[in-house]
Amino acid sequence: MAYPYQIKTQADYEKAYKKSVEDPEGFWSAIADTFYWRKKWDKVLEWDFSGPDAPQVKWFQGARLNITENCLDRHLDTRGDQPAIIWEPNDPDEHHRVLTYKQLHQKVCIFSNALKNNGVKKGDRVCIYMGMVPELAIAVLACARIGAIHSVVFGGFSAKSIADRILDASADFVITCDGAYRGNKVIPLKSVVDDALVQCPDVKKVIVLTRTHTPVSMIKGRDVWWEDEIKKVETLGNPPCPAEEMDAEDTLYVLYTSGSTGKPKGVVHTTAGYMIYTAYTFVNVFNYQPGEVYFCTADIGWVTGHSYIVYGPLAAGAVSVMFEGVPTWPNAGRLWEIVDKHKVNTIYTAPTAIRSLMAHGLGFVEDKDLSSLRVLGSVGEPINEEAWHWFDEHIGKKRCPIVDTWWQTETGGILISPIATVTHTKPSYATLPLPGIQPAIMDEKGQEIPAPQKGEQVSGNLCIRFPWPGMLRSTWGDHERCRKTYFDAYPGKYFTGDGCLRDGDDGYYRITGRVDDVLNVSGHRIGTAEVENAINMHADVVESAVVGYPHDIKGQGVYAFVITEKEPDNPNLARKDILETVARIIGPIAKPDKIQFVKGLPKTRSGKIMRRILRKIAEGEMENLGDTTTLLDPGVVDDIKQGKL
Ligand code: 6R9
């Protein structure tokens, strides 16, 4: 089956884009027609970005469906024996696993019944904290099949972060593993969950999958083994698990992400629009052809894994490779070895991975057969030209288009990106909006900047002026927060938090990075306020300020300026204590790369920390600090400069 909505030429793109703007309802309903519905919609779109209860966005109102019937059941007749998931383990010597659509369907049905047997019902929240094993995808899909709302928490987050998310979502159920393999490490996931649950007495059941045989404590009445629960269903003869009929706008999942405040938000995605948007963008951006092998290196703990390992590829009936390990273990050739082994046609990865592999040299690339590759993708942060060219030359051998895909947890799917084999690519440009996406570049006064003329470039803050099916609908438990965060800065528009530049010669967009207090460290989104709160929990710390600085591999590094009660006797030990505190409070991913102890922070008379100055110092730009006259005590700046790491 080819995809009727696949864009094959520049003319197709232009036609689709025009139609999507002139007649968005006609455009999206024609695509939606190719999916499986229990009942079709009464109305394609109703929306409001500016009222007091904004955003109000309803796609395919009145429609009834289950996303797993689209991701699994409807493929059974046409491609039941084709692999749905090819799973590559952490240890290259362990055998890989292949789950065909039939097998995945069966496993999802069995685990769905196991969830039901454990009391999970439609609308319940289920927190999933697992490593990258096939059962993670199975757990996600099983929740969706019975209408439970999944909230996946990345395996690198701490017990406290899990607890905060469980409490915010009032999740009554947790699915985890005894442990997870990542490179040469074993992460004791269940034990981290146990620490989290000390704060979450309402959690009724924890289902634990065996992976690493790490010793765990199983609490009577609360904790059960995945394998036992499956057996219970199997002894009943595997009764079928009909999918729960859901409303188009029922919540599919909540995924927590960092913003400029200290507390992560639960981004809410709903069912029908998200399904159509992830499938449509998957097929078009990667120019996916039926039967091809597609490999996204992300973790399902992040939105990229949700949309482009699980939902998008499976809704399109694709072959999706899932990798348990890390790109640099046992050596920096691991990703290329996987490409070679499974004859991967498309690899979708992050600039930080490319940069770290680049640093290990070509020895790990040259002995692999990468001739199966046809399309390369990048996501998570701006891709610098050096990394782009390395990817192009050494991995794509200059014959594979690179799609630099810009999007966010909130957008659900890719918004600005080349379309592989169609769009002419240009290093460091995400190029053009996909059909249905109407960007607007705004100036500081809140005015829209007109499109640049030839020979001209404009830059400003990136907004989107019209709804698209995959967008967030709310933030869990606090709709007003969603309005304030995304729809307040530029009334009537969705504000992305990113800055961008547009080139008048080709109309291309280049994403320049966050304009708020969000850092992008190795493609992970981290709020500076979150890190500061964590540092400030340390008993010796009075105050701290965190900024980002350019980092060769991570893209951005975390630089913390810290005031302590008294000068630390042993600064190195004090730094380690702070790192340990951050790892405890947020997780190891948020640990600062540099910690500088200071006596004071540059503050305005109203007490606001002038981060602009700290950012410059962290970047090593000591001279051009700009206007410091409004500072309460300009002297602190010299002190900080002298102590610069
Ligand atoms: C999908 C994802 C979102 C933030 C986003 C932006 C940055 C993502 C990018 C990119 C430049 C790209 N970002 N893709 N910047 N070029 N191709 O990463 O979601 O974790 O929510 O991060 O990542 O700053 O605002 P999320």
DSSP assignment of 325-355: S-TTSS-TTHHHHHHHHHT-SEEEE-HHHHH
* Tokens coding 439: 């960007």
Residue nearest to atom 16 of ligand 1 (CA): 382
Ligand 1 centre from 556 Cα, in Å? 13
User: How many of the other CB atoms lie within 10 Å of CB of 619?
Assistant: 13
pLDDT at 630: 79
State in Å, rounded, how far the first CA of the chain is from the last one.
59
Residue 616 and residue 568 in contact, taking contact as beta carbons nearer than 8 Å: no
pLDDT at 606: 81
pLDDT digits (tens, 9 = 90+) for 388-415: 999 999 999 999 999 999 999 999 999 9
pLDDT range class, residue 491, cuts 50, 70, 90: very high
- Measured from CB, residues less than 6 Å from any atom of ligand 1 are 257, 302-304, 379-382, 404-409, 430, 496-498, 511, 513-514, 520, 525
SS3 (DSSP) at 514: strand
pLDDT above 90: percentage of residues in the chain: 92
Tell me how far apart the alpha carbons of residues 542 and 538 are, in angstroms, rounded to a whole number: 9
pLDDT at 645: 64
Ligand 1 atom at minimum distance from 302 CA: 20
pLDDT at 452: 97
pLDDT digits (tens, 9 = 90+) for 176-209: 999 999 999 999 999 999 999 999 999 999 999 9
* Tokens coding 296: 């996204």
Residue nearest to atom 5 of ligand 1 (CA): 408
DSSP assignment of 249-307: TSEEEEEEE--SSSS-EEEEEESHHHHHHHHHHHHHHTT--TT-EEEE-S-TTSHHHII
pLDDT digits (tens, 9 = 90+) for 11-69: 999 999 999 999 999 999 999 999 999 999 999 999 999 999 999 999 999 999 999 99
Looking at 392-503, list the stretches that DSSP marks H as alpha helix, in order from N- to C-terminal side. 479-487
Ligand 1 centre from 408 Cα, in Å? 5
Best residue among 402, 425, 520 to mutate for probing ligand 1, ranked by most atoms within 8 Å of CB: 520
pLDDT at 621: 87
Phi, psi of 545 (to 5 degrees): -140, 130
Q: What is the mean pLDDT of the chain?
A: 96
Best residue among 267, 408, 429, 519 to mutate for probing ligand 1, ranked by most atoms within 8 Å of CB: 408
Residue nearest to atom 1 of ligand 1 (CA): 408
User: How many of the other CB atoms lie within 10 Å of CB of 508?
Assistant: 21
Query: What ipTM does the predicted assembly reach?
Result: 0.99
pLDDT at 190: 98
* Tokens coding 565: 């009660």
The residue behind tokens 């530029």 is 490
Residue 240 pLDDT more than 90? Answer: no
- Say which range, 55-69, 246-260, 482-496, 596-610, has the weakest mean pLDDT: 596-610
Cα R_g (the chain), whole angstroms? 24
SS3 (DSSP) at 101: helix
Ligand 1 centre from 80 Cα, in Å? 34
Best residue among 285, 511, 556 to mutate for probing ligand 1, ranked by most atoms within 8 Å of CB: 511
Q: Is the pTM of this model over 0.90?
A: yes
Ligand 1 centre from 260 Cα, in Å? 15
Least Cα distance to 315 among 461, 469, 97, 528 occurs for 469
In the chain, the domains with their CATH numbers are 10-69+272-514 (3.40.50.12780), 100-247 (3.40.50.980), 534-642 (3.30.300.30)
- Parallel, antiparallel, or unpaired for β 402-405 and 457-464? unpaired
Residue nearest to atom 17 of ligand 1 (CA): 406
Ligand 1 centre from 451 Cα, in Å? 23
The residue behind tokens 């094993």 is 133
Residue 145 and residue 179 in contact, taking contact as beta carbons nearer than 8 Å: no
Ligand 1 atom at minimum distance from 378 CA: 17
pLDDT range class, residue 1, cuts 50, 70, 90: low
- Average pLDDT over every residue of 569-588: 95
- Average pLDDT over every residue of 246-255: 98
pLDDT digits (tens, 9 = 90+) for 307-339: 999 999 999 999 999 999 999 999 999 999 999
pLDDT at 122: 98
pLDDT digits (tens, 9 = 90+) for 110-159: 999 999 999 999 999 999 999 999 999 999 999 999 999 999 999 999 99
Residue 135 and residue 103 in contact, taking contact as beta carbons nearer than 8 Å: no
Tell me how far apart the alpha carbons of residues 578 and 571 are, in angstroms, rounded to a whole number: 10
pLDDT at 2: 87
User: Distance of alpha carbon 474 from its chain centroid, rounded?
Assistant: 17
pLDDT at 599: 93
- Beta-bridge partner residues of 253: 150, 269
Tell me how far apart the alpha carbons of residues 225 and 209 are, in angstroms, rounded to a whole number: 6
Residue nearest to atom 4 of ligand 1 (CA): 408
Tell me how far apart the alpha carbons of residues 470 and 405 are, in angstroms, rounded to a whole number: 15
Ligand 1 centre from 415 Cα, in Å? 11
Residue nearest to atom 11 of ligand 1 (CA): 382
Best residue among 379, 417, 589 to mutate for probing ligand 1, ranked by most atoms within 8 Å of CB: 379
pLDDT digits (tens, 9 = 90+) for 201-238: 999 999 999 999 999 999 999 999 999 999 999 988 88
Ligand 1 centre from 441 Cα, in Å? 17
Least Cα distance to 460 among 439, 441, 446, 486 occurs for 441
Residue nearest to atom 7 of ligand 1 (CA): 381
Tell me how far apart the alpha carbons of residues 628 and 644 are, in angstroms, rounded to a whole number: 18
Ligand 1 atom at minimum distance from 525 CA: 20
Ligand 1 centre from 379 Cα, in Å? 7
Give the single-character DSSP code of 42: S
Ligand 1 centre from 406 Cα, in Å? 6
Tell me how far apart the alpha carbons of residues 30 and 469 are, in angstroms, rounded to a whole number: 13
pLDDT range class, residue 239, cuts 50, 70, 90: confident
DSSP assignment of 532-595: HHHHHTSTTEEEEEEEEEEETTTEEEEEEEEEESS--SSHHHHHHHHHHHHHHHT-GGG--SEE
Residue 92 pLDDT more than 70? Answer: yes
B/e letters for 167-205, b = 16+ CB within 10 Å, e = fewer, are: ebbebbbbbbbbbbbbeeebbbbbbbbbbbbeebeebeb
